Amino acid sequence: MWEDRVDGVVPRVPIGDWIENAFDWVKENLGAFFDTLAELMQDSVNGIAELLNAPNALVLAAVFALLSWLVRDWKVAVGTLLGMALVVSMEQWENAMETLALIVVATIVALVIAIPLGILAARSDRFSRIIRPVMDLMQTMPAFVWLVPVVTLFSIGVPAGLVATIIFALPPGVRLTELGIRQVDAEVVEAGHAFGATPRQILREVQLPLAMPTVMAGVNQVIMLALSMAVIAGLVGGGGLGSEVTSSISRLDIGLGFEAGISVVILAIFLDRVTASAGTPRRGLLRALRTRATRPRTEPAATDETPAEVADDQEAVRTGSP
């Protein structure tokens, strides 16, 4: 194995052969498990896609616009409504909802894995050092490379695209969760310890709430990477807008490519604005309603004085005269 040398000096390391043999072993011994997992993922994506496609497209577009208004402002809501109406007019709505279903499932799975890993990395320097190279590998590996092993395990179809999307989108969730918790002021944590809070209480009631803007930034990045990878996953049968982009490339159909691409852009802008605003809710209808509901109501004290007498009393207080 080590007899082959590159340029007669450096021995060739057959990493590719090792990885291929490992995947062959996994496929041979765990094939039934991956088949079951593929069916579960397929059913999950299909179920959400059917739910999104069940109502009238314009009705759901209005719901998306209302959601944008609740978390951001009316301008984003109008833009969302017009953008979604454009997707409907280009006859890409069903494909867009299939892509959205894939993104929803991929994001949920990625966050369920990423946030606990980020918390553990924030609390353990050793675990952080171990997981950092793994995150570097997952994030810097070219996206197309992940399509090869997932097709080997799950064959062509939605599950392969979903797994590739999860792998590609997961690292920002881990990194930003760890970063957010580590940035919490140590004095605040020490104050929690001084009041007798347990580590779990400090994490749940102190660190996570203070780290929430950074964690939500990680959620935003996970969604954006999932969307970009979901389009690439169309090459392996991921469905949705990715399949339309792939079809336009194979047929050199410029019009179809731009229609699918514009639909991806509209979906990306909507998801980005909503998730970014959810992390820092400074404005929006929901914020205004919450502020109005929690604002203390003060009623003027009852008095028998006339307005003129009240004015005289105020003047007396101001001038200091009895």
How confident is the model over 136-151, as pLDDT tens digits? 988 888 878 888 888 8
Dihedral of alpha carbons 255, 258, 264, 269, sign: negative
User: What SS3 state is found at 264?
Assistant: helix
221 touches 271 (CB < 8 A)? no
Report how far apart, in Å, the C-alpha atoms of 188 and of each of 181, 193, 198 are.
Answer: 12, 9, 14
In a domain, 36, yes or no: yes
Task: Quote the CA–CA distance of 284 and 271 in Å, as a whole number.
Answer: 16
Dihedral of alpha carbons 48, 263, 147, 221, sign: negative
In a domain, 87, yes or no: yes
Q: What is the mean pLDDT of residues 199-215?
A: 87
Type and span of the H or E element at 117: helix 93-123
Q: Which letter does DSSP use for residue 206 in this model?
A: I
Domain span at 94: 31-284
Where residue 317 falls among pLDDT bands split at 50, 70, 90? very low
Q: What is the mean pLDDT of residues 188-217?
A: 86
How confident is the model over 232-256, as pLDDT tens digits? 888 887 778 888 888 888 888 888 8
In a domain, 108, yes or no: yes
In a domain, 107, yes or no: yes
Percent share of the chain, pLDDT over 90: 24
Structural domains of the chain, count: 1
Where residue 19 falls among pLDDT bands split at 50, 70, 90? confident
In a domain, 48, yes or no: yes
pLDDT mean across residues, the chain: 82
* pLDDT for the residue numbered 60: 92
In a domain, 153, yes or no: yes
Rounding to the nearest 10 degrees, give the CA dihedral for residues 105, 167, 142, 259: 0
Percent share of the chain, pLDDT over 70: 83
In a domain, 255, yes or no: yes
In a domain, 156, yes or no: yes
Task: Check which CATH number belongs to the domain holding 45 and give it.
Answer: 1.10.3720.10
